[in-house]
């Protein structure tokens, strides 16, 4: 009878444990992008003084079907002072928020200066038009250490639901 080495035994135990308990992970990180629906990536602006970034801009319209999911992918990077949050879709009733997930885009989102993509997922609930406003924490909260008057403040996405 052949003996199994300790590292092999540990790997086998870990695999059995994962099969029994399951494994939670972000959809985008694990490669399961089905729940994200159609992904719309935000345009990335640089901090080039010769080409200033508009502090408030409007994008879209994004076209979707009621009952379908879509995601808006925003670049997050604490060292670049980009920290986004999304408002509730307005007017109410046309879209519902379906969650957020992340994808590492720099090799290690927990490393100093590391960036990643934050997916905001929504679902169309009935035909009409709505808007979602993304707010950059560092561009709008003056009492924080990351504030700068030249940072992007908001990005408004116009959404048409068919």
* pLDDT tens, per residue, the chain with 162 residues: 444 444 444 333 333 333 332 333 334 444 445 689 999 999 876 556 666 677 899 999 999 999 999 999 998 887 788 889 999 999 999 999 999 998 765 555 556 667 889 999 999 999 999 999 999 988 888 887 888 887 888 999 999 999
Place of tokens 């590391």: 114
Strand duo 38-41 + 95-104: pairing? unpaired
Q: What gap in Å lies between CA 47 and CA 108, rounded to an integer?
A: 22
**pLDDT computed for residue 113 by the predictor:** 65
The pTM score is 0.72
For residue 61, whether the previous peptide bond is cis, meaning omega lies within 30 degrees of 0, is: yes
**pLDDT computed for residue 122 by the predictor:** 97
**pLDDT computed for residue 129 by the predictor:** 97
Helix (H) or strand (E) holding 10: helix 6-21
Residues 6+ apart with CB under 8 A from 124: 64, 65, 66, 67, 68, 70, 94, 95, 159, 161, 162
Is the Cβ–Cβ distance between 57 and 74 less than 8 Å? no
**pLDDT computed for residue 51 by the predictor:** 65
Give the E-state strand segments of 16-138 in sequence order.
38-41, 56-64, 69-77, 84-86, 95-104, 115-124, 128-136
Using the Cα atoms of residue 10, residue 13, residue 14 and residue 15 in order, give the sign of their dihedral: positive
Strand duo 38-41 + 69-77: pairing? parallel
**pLDDT computed for residue 36 by the predictor:** 93
């Amino acid at each position: 009878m052949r003996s199994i080495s300790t590292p092999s035994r540990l790997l086998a135990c870990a695999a059995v444990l994962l099969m029994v308990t399951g494994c939670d992970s972000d959809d985008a990180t694990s490669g399961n992008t089905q729940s994200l629906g159609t992904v719309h990536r935000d345009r990335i602006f640089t901090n080039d003084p010769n080409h200033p970034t508009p502090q408030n801009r409007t994008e879209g319209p994004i076209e979707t079907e009621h009952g379908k999911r879509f995601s808006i992918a925003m670049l997050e990077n604490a060292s670049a002072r980009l920290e986004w949050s999304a408002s509730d879709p307005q007017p109410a009733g046309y879209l519902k928020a379906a969650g957020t997930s992340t994808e590492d885009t720099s090799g290690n989102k927990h490393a100093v200066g590391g960036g990643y993509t934050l997916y905001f997922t929504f679902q169309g609930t009935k035909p009409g038009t709505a808007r979602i406003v993304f707010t950059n924490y560092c561009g709008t909260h003056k009492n924080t250490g990351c504030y700068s008057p030249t940072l992007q403040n908001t990005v408004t996405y116009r959404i048409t639901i068919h």
